[in-house]
Structures are given as C-alpha cells and as structure tokens.
Amino acid sequence: MPDRDPGGSHAQNFLPYGRQEIGDADIKAVVEALCSDWLTTGPRVGQFEKAFARFCGAAEGVAVNSGTAALHAAMRAVGAGPGDEVIVPAITFAASANAAVYEGATPVFADVEESTLLIDPAKVEALITAKTKAIVAVDYGGQPADYATLRMLTKDKGIRIVADACHAPGATYMGCPVGTLGDISCFSFHPVKHLTTCEGGMALTDDPELAAHMRRFRNHGIDSDHRKREAEGTFAYDMVELGYNYRLPDVQCALGMAQLERLPQWVMQRRRVADWYEQALNGIEHVRPLRLHEDRTHAYHLYVVRLDLSKARMSRAQAFAHLRARGIGANVHYAPVYLHSFYRDRGYAPGLCPVAERVYEEILTLPMFPAMTKADVERVADVLRELAD
Ligand SMILES: Cc1ncc(COP(=O)(O)O)c(C=O)c1O
C-alpha cells in the first residue's frame, strides 16, 4: 500500500484551512467494498443513508454524489421552477443559489446578519412574495440559521425551508440537531467538510414523499433501481420525469460509514480548536471572531474572523497574502454570490445586500480541522498580531 501523504503538496509547516483524516478503518472499509459484488447501487448506500440520517435525527436520507446534487434534488422535490423565487443568503457558496437556477427558478438574495453572516430573517420578511417557493437557509460556517423565525415567516404560505447544512453536521438549534430543521436538509461530504466520501452529499427529510422524489431524481427520474428490479425479477422500468445520474457509489458510502464513526469526536475536536482560538485572539483588537447565538451549538466547519480595517495596517487582501507567506492557509468564504459574473450578467448588481458587501471586505477564514493543536492556533494568533505591527 502506498505511503499516505498527510501534508499534500504543501510545505512541511504549512497549515491548511481544512484537512481530511483518512485512517486504517476507512481504507479497510473501502477495500472491502471494492472487493464486493456491488460497487454502486448496492447495500452500502442504504446503510450509509440510515446511519447518517440516524446521527442527525432525521427519518430518511438520500445519498447523492455531491452537496450540490443534494440541493438540486431538494429544489426539484419542493417544486421550484420557472416563475418561482427562492430566497438565498448573499454570503454562501454559489451552489446554494445555483440549485434554484438549475430548475429555472429565480434566486432572490437576502442580506445577512453582520455579526454572524447568517441569513437575516428581517431581510427575508421583506423579500417574501406570492412567487416565493422556498428559502435556502445556510448554516454558515457551521452555526445553524434562525429556523424558528424563518418558520414563523413562512407559516401557512406554502413556502418550503431547505437547509443548506453543508457546514453544520453535529450542530444544534434550540436543542434540535441540524438535519431536522428544514423540510429538507442538504449535506456535503467534500474533503474539507466534517466527514468525507471524496465527493458526495446527502439530503435528509422526515417526509417520505420528498425522499421518494429525490431518490427517483438521483436515478434519471426512473421509478426503480437496478437492485430492486433484480430482486423483483423484472427488466421493466419507467422514467417518469427528467432526472440525473447523481448516485453515490457503494465504495464511497463505505468510506462515509467508516468516517461517520468518528464524526462526534471530530465535532468535539473542532469545538476545542474554536475555544483555543477564542482564548488566543482575546486582546487582538483588530481581529473579531463571529458571534455565536446562545440558542445554538456550532459545528465549526469554518473559523471565520472579521478584520477591523481601521486598526490593521493592511487590507484584507494584504492580510491574506501575509498569512499565506507565513505558512498559514487562510481563505475567504465567501464573496456575495450575486457579484459573480454569471449573476451580474443576469441583472444582479452591487448594492443589493449592503451588509454582505461590506463585511465581505473584512472576513478571513483561519485554519480549522480536528487534528489542529493549541500550538497551531497560537501560531496563527501570533501571525495575526503582526497585521497591526
Ligand atoms: C454552503 C455550501 N453549500 C453547498 C456546497 C456544495 O457542496 P459540494 O461541493 O459537495 O457540491 C458547499 C461546498 O463547498 C457549501 O459550502
């Protein structure tokens, strides 16, 4: 077996902003799946779906081959289409909005809370119209959005809440786990996320009809899969709508199940790293962590700080370059989605969400992954201090 390369292509002392952990149990599980009869659409898919849904407290899981595919399936299942509007926070990964566009619906961007970068329910209220089909609530960085207020705003209006929970498995809102907060909750298993299947994702729901629809959608819109037909001794199937091949192979589900064993521990380790950051950043006046609402627990996919540009002696871009030059893999999550050329070309313009646009200029994502040590965090803090020297 080849040696594993934990540092990737980076120099020895480079601290990336995120890093997966692949252990012997993961490798064993993948090899077993590779040597089995089923590389895809086999028994491990359902096993992984059940195990991840159970972890999050949801009734059903639909495994797909990316978080983006989960969002796309969710948009189809809630019936977003041409003429419909889908409210999405301005600060998120583009996929949160793109999923609505795939289905011909129109994303409507809501501004964010300045101190958390979560979708601001007060701004959402003003954007709801008779055309609103869904709200995509993004659990930015790993902190859940304000679902109770969003529910209140959508009550009796037939508006669905889709949780983009890609950052937040293991977090809670008012004591309820992420995965139970939206009508559908979408997760990503990309390597920088909490657990990885290389690429992969899952949509969770308590509604069996939504689950059945998403299961069909991930399989070309066909009403049965290969294993079911084999069990029933039939060749016949019907394609009842236009779907996609969004299936997650068994080999990747095997990896996901092995990773899931360590998810609770990893969430705790991420919280410990966040505690270390809080201590280490205390007293660095030009660096402000984002706020954590008291009714929530955080899963810390990202550790995001705001730079006070009046106190730092450099811009965010210079701060980013300084950190990278000193071996700290800082990053920025995210530019307001509508400022990307694709959206500008479709009529969205600067000025739409002023808080998002302003705070975007100040944010930096610091390294955050379970294996980080207190010394790593102190090293990041030391370099951040230099930004005001
Ligand atoms: C908030 C958010 N939504 C959706 C996605 C899409 O997930 P994937 O990369 O698995 O397609 C990501 C991935 O980075 C994300 O951060």
244-271: pLDDT as tens digits = 999 999 999 999 999 999 999 999 999 9
Average pLDDT on 136-162 reads 98
- How far, in Å, from the CA of 149 to the mean position of ligand 1? 24
Q: Is 263 helix (H, G, I), strand (E, B) or coil?
A: helix
Contact 214, 247 (CB under 8 A): no
Q: Residue 224: pLDDT band by 50, 70, 90 thresholds?
A: confident
Spell out the domains of the chain, with CATH numbers in brackets: 24-260 (3.40.640.10), 263-388 (3.90.1150.10)
Lowest mean pLDDT among 63-77, 261-275, 303-317, 372-386: 303-317
Question: 4 pLDDT band (50/70/90 cuts)?
Answer: low
- Per residue in 14-68, pLDDT tens? 999 999 999 999 999 999 999 999 999 999 999 999 999 999 999 999 999 999 9
User: How many angstroms does the Cα of residue 278 sit away from the middle of ligand 1?
Assistant: 26
pLDDT band at 190 (very low <50, low <70, confident <90, very high): very high
**Token couple for 155:** 């009550």
pLDDT value, residue 165: 98
Mean pLDDT of the chain: 95
Could you tell me where the DSSP H helices lie in 282-369?
316-325, 341-344, 354-360
Answer whether residue 158 shows pLDDT above 50. Answer: yes
Please check the confidence at residue 291 and state whether its pLDDT lies above 80.
Answer: yes
Residue ID of nearest Cα to ligand 1 atom 10: 67
Judge whether 131 counts as a catalytic residue: no
**Three-class SS of residue 186?**
strand
pLDDT at 6: 47
CA–centroid distance, 93 to ligand 1, in Å, is: 6
pLDDT beyond 80 at 170: yes
Q: What is the pLDDT of residues 95-105, one digit of tens each?
A: 999 999 999 99
Who lines ligand 1 at CB under 6 A? 66-68, 92-93, 95-96, 138, 164, 166-167, 188, 190, 201
- From the candidates 131, 193, 228, 374, give the one annotated as an active-site residue: 193
The count of C-alpha atoms lying within 13 angstroms of the C-alpha of 41, restricted to the half-sphere facing its C-beta, is: 15
For the segment 308-313, the average pLDDT, to the nearest whole number, is 88
Task: Say what the pLDDT of residue 313 is.
Answer: 86
For residue 269, the model assigns a pLDDT of 98
- Report the pLDDT averaged over residues 148-164: 97
Please give the distance of CA 344 from its chain centroid, rounded to a whole number. Answer: 24
Whole-number Å distance, alpha carbon 235 to ligand 1 midpoint, is: 36
Measured by CA distance, the residue closest to atom 14 of ligand 1 is 93
Residue 43: predicted pLDDT: 96
Measured CA to CA, the distance from residue 307 to residue 364 in angstroms comes to 7
Question: Burial letters for 176-190: b for 16+ Cβ neighbours within 10 Å, e otherwise?
Answer: ebbbbbbbbbbbbbb
